[in-house]
Amino acid sequence: MVKDRFSHVSAWVFDLDNTLYPPHARLFDQIEIRMTNWVMQELRVDRDKADQLRQYYWKTYGTTLAGLMREHGVDPAPYLHDVHDISMEHLEVDPALAQHIRSLPGRKIVYTNGSAPYAERVLAARGLAGLFDAVYGVEHADFHPKPDWAAFDAVFARDGLMPEVAAMFEDDPRNLAVPHALGMRTVHVAPDPAPADHIHHHTDNLTTFLHQLVDAACPDTKE
């Protein structure tokens, strides 16, 4: 049983975007538009060039922000505020997901490459506010992004988390490599699997997966 493989887990780490809400909400589409506009304005390039740079920064540094900081010395605070100033109207409250997260034994945290204030807004829109012991953004990792090892070290040290008794839920498979190396149980949350040695489990429905772990009634979940 899946539950047996998590019997040792007492700390649960959740990514935010496309993990604690489904990709069809398309929240990140809004962020990508604002990121591209920011790159265009900051670097004085056209949209095509801005999109090319964003892809390059993402592949090379982990996030657009990391590339802007390292190559252009961009101040992260205004950037984070601007790109996350988006509408939450497409997010729906998920009572079943909230029930299962609440039922998980031990400490529960959110760790995102976005900002913590943005994460709090998303959690509120999903009906998940108050369920987590801590919410960490890229600012808590000294602006090192996942998948950098330094990012995980900074956040986990701040939290006092012990990886050997923790599980990580992520939509980006590359962000599970370091958690796996640290001894965490890894879960890839995405529509399609990405088979890799550092991924223990895959699910296309986080609510359904957590239902298996807590053995709680889940009438609202589509199996």
Q: 141-198 pLDDT, tens per residue? A: 999 999 999 999 999 999 999 999 999 999 999 999 999 999 999 999 999 999 999 9
Q: CA quadruple 138, 84, 192, 49: dihedral positive or negative? A: negative
As a whole-number percent, the residues of the chain with pLDDT over 70 amount to 96
Rounded distance, CA 223 to CA 210, Å?
Answer: 12
Pick 214 or 116 by higher pLDDT.
Answer: 116
CB 174 within 8 A of CB 196: no
Write down the pLDDT at residue 197.
97
Q: Start-end ranges of CATH 3.40.50.1000 in the chain?
A: 2-22+92-214
pTM, full prediction:
0.88
Residue 28 clears pLDDT 90, i.e. is over it: no
How far apart (Å, rounded) are the C-alpha atoms in residues 123 and 98? Answer: 10
Residue whose entry in the numeric block shows the structure tokens 């190559």: 71
CATH fold label, 2-22+92-214: Rossmann fold (3.40.50)
Are 26 and 90 in contact by the 8 Å Cβ rule? The answer is yes
Paired strand residues for 169: 14, 187
- Lowest pLDDT segment from 19-23, 186-190, 204-208, 217-221: 217-221
For residue 223, is pLDDT > 70? no
| Of 61 and 222, more confident | 61
Burial readout 196-223 (b: 16 or more C-beta within 10 A, e: otherwise): eeebbbbbeebbbbbbbbbeeebeebee
Contact predicate 154/140, CB 8 Å: yes
Q: Which pair of structure tokens corresponds to residue 167?
A: 């599980």
Q: What is the pLDDT of residue 219?
A: 39
Q: What is the mean pLDDT of residues 28-41?
A: 92
Longest CA span, the chain: 54
- Listed in order, the ranges of the chain carrying CATH 1.10.150.450 are 27-83
How distant, in Å, are the alpha carbons of 37, 77, 94 from that of 83?
Answer: 9, 10, 25
pLDDT tens-place string over residues 73-109: 999 999 999 999 999 998 999 999 999 999 999 999 9
pLDDT for residue 63: 86
Q: Which pLDDT value is given to residue 216?
A: 40
pLDDT at 221 over 70: no
| Residues 62 and 76 sit within 8 Å (Cβ to Cβ) | no
User: Residue 220: what pLDDT?
Assistant: 40
Which pLDDT tens digit goes with each residue over 202-214? 999 999 999 999 8
CA distance 9 to 31: 33
Distance in angstroms (rounded) separating the CA atoms of residues 175 and 145: 9
Query: Which of 104, 94, 133, 102 is CA-nearest to residue 214?
Result: 104
- Partners of 111 in beta bridges: 136
What CATH number has the domain spanning 27-83?
1.10.150.450
